[in-house]
Amino acid sequence: MINKEKGITLIALVVTIIILIILATVSINMVVGENGLIKKAQQARDAYEESSKREDENMGEIVDEMETLLADGEAQAVTDEKPGELSGDGSKEKPYLIESIEDLVSFSNKVNYGETFEGKIVKLKVNLDFNNDISYVNPKRTDYGDINGQNGEEELKVELTTGTGFKPIGTTSNTFKGTFDGKNKTINNLFINVTRKL
């Protein structure tokens, strides 16, 4: 009788272990399987990141539109982190951006020295006013050289608003061949005092 009870206990123990192994296998499959929790969590994370990226892009477009409506042609304070360096890569998704007067001057210099921007897109991001300090990151900088042809390095704003002023974008031998999108922004008080042969 005692052996029979031990046998039943042993069978119950083996059945319990088998059930536990089956449950463990099912649990592991639910966590790491093809349709498991980890896979679904990764898919949810990827979907969230993609949605967040699209939302950021849409929000950027909305902000640009609001800035255009609010600015109504007035100069906007620039927030260019790298003045004189065009952000973006010139593609449709990431066009080159003119975010300050420094960027516009550098863009002009690049074209005048032979960079054609062929196949590239350049966009004006903000309203600019050559007579307004807020359109410059630093209107007093002197590292752009003698832009206005008055034989001396003066402050950037002075260089661009006196003498020959801003150098036109492109020359007879070096032309701009890309796409310039003004995005309904304005450039005010652009001063160019040069005579060109036709």
- In this structure, are 84 and 142 located in the same domain? yes
Contacts of residue 68, defined as CB under 8 A and 6 or more positions apart, other chains included, come to 183, 184, 185
43 token code pair: 């898919």
pTM: 0.62
Asked if residues 126 and 80 have their Cβ atoms less than 8 Å apart, the reply is no
Residue 198 lies in a domain: no
Q: Which of 70, 88, 114 is the last residue of a domain?
A: 70
Residue 46 lies in a domain: yes
In this structure, are strands 179-181 and 128-129 parallel, antiparallel, or unpaired? unpaired
Asked if residues 167 and 108 have their Cβ atoms less than 8 Å apart, the reply is yes
Domains in the chain, number: 2
Segment 97-133, tens digit of pLDDT: 999 999 999 999 999 999 999 999 999 999 999 999 9
- In this structure, are 63 and 141 located in the same domain? no
- In this structure, are 166 and 116 located in the same domain? yes
DSSP code at position 131: T
Q: Which pLDDT tens digits describe the chain residue by residue (198 residues)?
A: 555 666 677 777 888 888 888 888 777 777 676 776 777 788 888 888 888 888 888 787 776 666 555 555 577 778 888 999 999 999 999 999 999 999 999 999 999 999 999 999 999 999 999 999 999 999 999 998 888 888 788 899 999 999 999 999 998 899 999 999 998 899 999 999 887 654
- In this structure, are 119 and 186 located in the same domain? yes
- In this structure, are 91 and 185 located in the same domain? yes
How high is the pLDDT of residue 76? 74
- In this structure, are 42 and 140 located in the same domain? no
Distance CA 173, CA 6 (A): 102
- In this structure, are 36 and 89 located in the same domain? no
- In this structure, are 15 and 104 located in the same domain? no
Asked if residues 109 and 167 have their Cβ atoms less than 8 Å apart, the reply is yes
Distance CA 170, CA 168 (A): 6
CB burial of residue 131 (10 Å; 0-12, 13-18, 19+)? middle
Distance CA 139, CA 9 (A): 91
Distance CA 145, CA 167 (A): 12
Look at the chain and count its residues: 198
- C-alpha distances (whole Å) from 104 to each of 3, 20, 56, 177, 183 are 96, 71, 26, 16, 15
Q: Which of 70, 95, 116 is the last residue of a domain?
A: 70
How high is the pLDDT of residue 26? 76
- In this structure, are 89 and 51 located in the same domain? no
The helix (run of H) or strand (run of E) holding residue 31 is helix 2-32
Residue 122 lies in a domain: yes
Supply the range of the domain harboring residue 15: 2-70
